[in-house]
Structure 1
Amino acid sequence: MFQKVLTFFEKQSFGVCTYLADKLNMSISKIRLFFIYASFLAVGFPIVFYVLAALVLDIRHYIKKIRLRIWDL
């Protein structure tokens, strides 16, 4: 049961932790633990940051798709 929930969230995640880990050359698990611990200490501020970062990454991904379509003409 727990494994099904874990794989669901890994497939549906926004890739914020993966993106940050690639940019900072750190492991993904350390970034995820940071968000978990920081959200307990800062009363939810990292969750707001995570959602905003997910929106920015999604918009960047959408813009890159549009640029590729334009240059295919």
Structure 2
Amino acid sequence: MTAIVKLKFFLEKHGFHVSSRLADALGMRASSVRLFFIYISFVTAGLGFGVYLTLAFWIRLKDLIRAKRTSVFDI
């Protein structure tokens, strides 16, 4: 077996074991716990991107409102 396949089996074995133990502790199905983690990862990535776009819009708006003067004689 190649190293990549061994790594994949190792991560699947131990990664799924974590979600199945958590599901057993919460009294849920393991597939529901895995789906929850997938959805949460998309939400957190989306929130970060949304904050980035909001800040970029804010800075652009500030630059449009505030006129940039290059010299003291522009007053």
TM, length-normalised to structure 2: 0.45
Based on CA coordinates, which of the two structures has the bigger radius of gyration?
A: 2
RCO higher in structure (CA 8 A, sep ≥6): 1
TM, length-normalised to structure 1: 0.46
